[in-house]
Amino acid sequence: MNTPITTFVKNYALSSSVRLHMPGHKGVSLFGGELYDITEVDGADVLYSAKGIILESEMNATALFGSAKTLYSTEGSSLSIRAMMHLVKTYALSTNRDAKVIAYRNAHKTFVSASALAGVDVKWLYSTENSILSCKIDLSTLESAIINENPVAVYVTSPDYLGHIEDVKSLADVCHRHGVLLLVDNAHGAYLKFAKDGAHPLDLGADLVCDSAHKTLPCLTGSAYLHVGKTAPDFFKDNAENALSLYASTSPSYLILQSLDNFNKLITDTTSYFDNTARLVEGLKAKLASLNYDVVGNEPLKITLATKSFGYLGGEVASILKDGGVVVEFADDDYVTMMFSPCNTHLDFERTESALTALAPKKSILTTPPHSPILKQGMPPKEAIFAPCESVAVKDSLGRILSSPTVSCPPAIPVAVCGEIINEDAVKCFEYYHINTILVVKE
Ligand SMILES: Cc1ncc(COP(=O)(O)O)c(C=O)c1O
- In DSSP notation, 360-389 reads PP-SPP---PPPPPP--BSS-HHHHHHS-E
Least confident of 76-80, 195-199, 364-368: 195-199
Q: Which atom of ligand 1 is nearest to the CA of 73?
A: 10
Q: Is 222 in the pocket of ligand 1 (CB under 6 A)?
A: no
Average pLDDT of the chain to the nearest whole number: 97
* Atom 10 in ligand 1: residue holding the nearest Cα: 76
Specify whether domain 4-269 bears CATH 3.30.360.10.
no
Distance 79 CA to ligand 1 centre (A): 10
This prediction's pTM? 0.97
Has residue 268 got a pLDDT over 80?
yes
Fold of 275-357: Aspartate Aminotransferase, domain 1 (3.90.1150)
Per this entry, what is the length of the chain? 443
Pocket-testing residue among 208, 212, 215, 329, ligand 1, by greatest number of atoms within 8 A of Cβ: 212
Q: Is 161 in the pocket of ligand 1 (CB under 6 A)?
A: yes
Instruction: Give residue 409's pLDDT.
Output: 79
Instruction: Give residue 129's pLDDT.
Output: 83
Instruction: Give residue 236's pLDDT.
Output: 98
pLDDT band with cut points at 50, 70 and 90 for residue 345: very high
Return the percentage of the chain with pLDDT > 90, whole number. Answer: 96
Which residues, including other chains, have CB under 8 Å from residue 305's CB and lie 6 or more apart?
Answer: 288, 293, 294, 295, 296, 314, 317, 335, 336
Exposed (0-12), middle (13-18) or buried (19+): which is 279, by Cβ within 10 Å? Answer: exposed
Query: Which residue from 72, 29, 12, 37 is spatially nearest to 217, judged by alpha carbons?
Result: 72
Q: Is 130 in the pocket of ligand 1 (CB under 6 A)?
A: no
Return the percentage of the chain with pLDDT > 70, whole number. Answer: 100
Section 311-322 average pLDDT: 98
Instruction: Give residue 196's pLDDT.
Output: 74
In contact, 201 and 154? CB cutoff 8 Å: no
Has residue 432 got a pLDDT over 90?
yes
Q: How far apart are CA 1 and CA 269, in angstroms?
A: 8
Section 310-328 average pLDDT: 97
Q: Which atom of ligand 1 is nearest to the CA of 157?
A: 1
Pairing relationship of beta strands 153-157 and 100-104 according to DSSP bridges: parallel
In this predicted model, what pLDDT tens digit does every residue of 123-138 receive, in sequence order?
Answer: 999 998 888 999 999 9
Has residue 325 got a pLDDT over 90?
yes
Distance in angstroms between the alpha carbons of the first and the last residue of the chain: 60
Q: Where are the domains of the chain?
A: 4-269, 275-357, 381-441
CB atoms inside a 10 Å sphere around CB 92: 20
In this predicted model, what pLDDT tens digit does every residue of 213-259 receive, in sequence order?
Answer: 999 999 999 999 999 999 999 999 999 999 999 999 999 999 999 99
Section 190-208 average pLDDT: 94
- CATH superfamily, domain 381-441, is Molybdopterin biosynthesis moea protein, domain 2 (3.90.105.10)
